Amino acid sequence: MPSTVRVAHLGWLVATLAALAGCSGGDSGAGGVPAGHGNVGVTQGGAQDFGLFRQILDQGGIPGPETLDDVGFFAEHKLDYPTPTCGANLCLHALFGAHPNLVVGTQASVVQVGLNSPIDLATFVRPPMHLVLAIDVSGSMGGAPIDYVRTGLTSMLGALEPGDRVSLVTYASEAQVVLDAVPASDTGILAEAIAGLAAGGSTNIYDGLFQAYTLAAVHLDPAWQNRVLLLSDGQANTGLDDTGKIVALAEGRAREGIALSSIGVGTDFDVELMSRLGEVGAGNFYFLEDPAAVVEVFEDEVKTFLYPLAVDARITMSVASGYELRAAYGTNGWASTPDGGEVELPALFLAGRTTASEPIEAGRRGGGGAILIELMPSGAAAAEPNDVGQVAIAWRDPATGDLVSDEVNVVAPHSPAEPPPGGYFTDATVAKGFAMLNLYAAFRIATERAAAGDPWTAESTLAALRPNVANWLVTHPDPDLEDDLHYVDLFIANLGAVIATSTLGVLPTPGPVDPWPYYE
């Protein structure tokens, strides 16, 4: 029988592909076990991390909309869920929250549907892996970038298992195979190859990727993890530079069992290409903004994201007659269906952070993700007044090939048109998801308004959000949200500098934008 979660009025359904590891207070799982005890986070592939957005703000600039990806933003927030007791490697949860939004105060409600895993990372043994590195050594990689990459690759070697194998392809004007399936235990050979990386020439991304996939295909073994890691700091400016064909190459190889993650270095790389490659390649997309991020990303790829916990996952939402599904955020490829919507995810991965209260060290954050599905009252008569809908997931175990499924029925104690009079959250996890959603929405509005030549509305929207988030953190302390607030402050300051130098003079202060009508 499907599990049933009783909720209040639903305006936003937050299907959160995140979870917890370690212990956290304020939330209980089955049998009274504290939430977060003995399970790890789960995140979807295809995420563009938050690093480029942050770096532009740190340097006094105004980030554009292309630097803010909802999949990546949500993936850098750790969300703690009840202990997984479903008996599978992935367990489905649903939690409720309702509260006025943190920008202009209109009502917003959420059901947060999460995935977590009982796997113990300390004892988890992954299958052996053939890792193929495709490294950009074009002229623009000279100096600090190539030094960062050497540091990151060296740290990655320490995270590999002795039975793994490593291939290395370098590419500039053309690609060159440097290592062909060398055992990870041959540390001397690997270290010598990494130390020998030297920059020069143009950027032939297709040739480098093609050669990497060729090596992976030659050694393809279904009992192994077969991964390509592509790194680039620029645009394809020689060889085949058709983005569609490069993406098609990655998509075809992913179907054959060769997954791809992509890494962008600096600020001149092709964001669209690299993020799309991570998305279709059943991997992830990272931005390396500093040496700390380099080491962390390379190590995380080996420890977690290079091993999919589930493949061929499919999440569906069917809504009851009293509701309509308006939009979905936090995933790529969402498709509408006659009674709701669905998304297919090539892979789900273990996440790196342990608990939401864990401090943020140098580098980046990480630990989960979210799919945000907006539901609104349809105005139609509900067959069952308390019925909201059903969320379901089906996925395949990459080790056994077994198909696993789970589903949750969502019902409310009142009709769709009766929101609760005040704010309510079943636990701190839903409260964090709600605040996270508000921050993303305000950031998105600010980037788009600023890009359209309207820094005034961008600033007023963030300024309306800022005190509400600060007050929120008094009763809901959280390191991720505190770090988000820091970037709200930077964004406001940077917009203020732009406004101060405007030739338009003093203009009337516009009001903030309401995030929910904004996303109609």
The secondary structure of 487-499 as a DSSP string is HHHHHHHHHHHHH
Domain residues for 47?
3-122+309-507
Dist CA 293 CA 263 (whole Å): 11
| 434-471 pLDDT per residue, tens | 898 899 999 999 999 999 999 999 999 999 999 999 99
pLDDT score for 328: 77
One domain, residues 169 and 297:
yes
How far is residue 348's CA from residue 393's CA, in Å, rounded to a whole number? 12
Give the chain's radius of gyration (CA, Å): 23
Q: Provide, rounded to the nearest whole percent, the portion of the chain with pLDDT above 70.
A: 81
One domain for residues 22 and 104: yes
> What one-character DSSP code corresponds to residue 83?
P
- 451, 343: one domain: yes
CA angle 507, 512, 517 (to 5 degrees): 135
Contact 114, 16 (CB under 8 A): yes
Interatomic CA distance for residues 145 and 215, integer angstroms:
25
pLDDT at 310: 84
Looking at residue 505, what is its pLDDT? 66
d(CA 352, CA 333): 25
Same domain flag for 291 and 328: no
Average pLDDT score over residue span 196-211: 91
Lowest mean pLDDT, pick from 39-48, 86-95, 303-312, 385-394: 39-48
Q: Give the per-residue pLDDT at 31.
A: 30
- Side-by-side strand order, sheet with 285-288: 175-183, 165-171, 129-136, 225-232, 259-265, 285-288
Torsion-angle region of residue 373: left (phi > 0), alpha (psi -120 to 50) or beta?
beta
Domain shared by 140 and 240, yes or no: yes
Q: What pLDDT does residue 444 have? A: 95
> What rounded mean pLDDT belongs to the chain?
79
- Whether residue 142 contacts residue 282, with contact meaning beta carbons closer than 8 Å, is answered with no
**pTM, rounded to two decimals:** 0.73
Higher pLDDT, 324 or 199: 199
C-beta of residue 263 within 8 angstroms of C-beta of residue 288: yes
pLDDT of residue 14: 36
The total number of residues shown for the chain amounts to: 520
Residues 254 and 314 in one domain: no
CB atoms within 10 A of CB 151: 16
Q: Is pLDDT of 11 > 50? A: no
Point out the least confidently predicted range of 209-218, 277-286, 433-442.
277-286
Give the number of domains in the chain.
Answer: 2
Best-predicted range by mean pLDDT among 76-85, 214-223, 498-507?
214-223
Domain stops at, among 276, 306, 336:
306
Q: Identify which has the larger pLDDT, 286 or 84.
A: 84
Task: Give the separation between CA 494 and CA 9, rounded to whole angstroms.
Answer: 38
Q: What is the pLDDT of residue 169?
A: 97
Q: 338 and 447 in one domain? A: yes
Pair (241, 390) in one structural domain: no
Q: Look at residue 223 and tell me if it is in a domain.
A: yes
Number of Cβ within 10 Å of residue 95's Cβ equals: 26
Chosen domain end from 277, 306, 335: 306
Specify if 512 maps to a domain.
no
Tell whether 184 and 266 lie within a shared domain.
Answer: yes
The verdict on residue 515 lying in a domain is no
Q: Is 518 inside any structural domain?
A: no
Q: Please tell me the distance from the alpha carbon of residue 15 to that of residue 31, in angstroms, as a whole number.
A: 24
Q: Are 391 and 92 in contact (CB under 8 A)?
A: yes
Q: What's the CA gap between 445 and 518, in Å, rounded? A: 8
Q: Is the residue at 516 inside a domain?
A: no
Joined tokens for residue 428:
């701190």
Give residue-wise pLDDT tens across range 379-416. 788 778 778 788 898 999 877 889 999 988 877 777 77
Cα–Cα distance measured from residue 337 to residue 341, given in angstroms and rounded to the nearest whole number: 5
CATH code of the domain covering residue 172: 3.40.50.410
Q: How far, in Å, CA of 389 to CA of 377, rounded?
A: 12
Contact between residue 24 and residue 83 where contact means Cβ atoms under 8 Å apart: no
Residues 321 and 384 both lie in one domain:
yes
Query: Which residues, other chains included, contact 95 with Cβ-Cβ below 8 Å and sequence gap of 6+?
Result: 5, 81, 111, 112, 113, 114, 426, 427, 429, 430
Q: How confident is the model at residue 168 (pLDDT cuts 50, 70, 90)?
A: very high
Residue 226 lies inside a defined structural domain of this protein: yes
Within a domain: 28: yes
Residues 153 and 20 in one domain: no
Report the Cα 307 to chain-centroid distance in Å.
Answer: 16
**pLDDT confidence bin for 291, thresholds 50/70/90:** low
Verify that 418 and 381 share a domain, yes or no: yes
In a domain, 519, yes or no: no
Q: How many CB atoms lie within 10 A of CB 163?
A: 12
**33 has pLDDT over 50:** no
Q: Which of 253, 283, 306 is the last residue of a domain?
A: 306
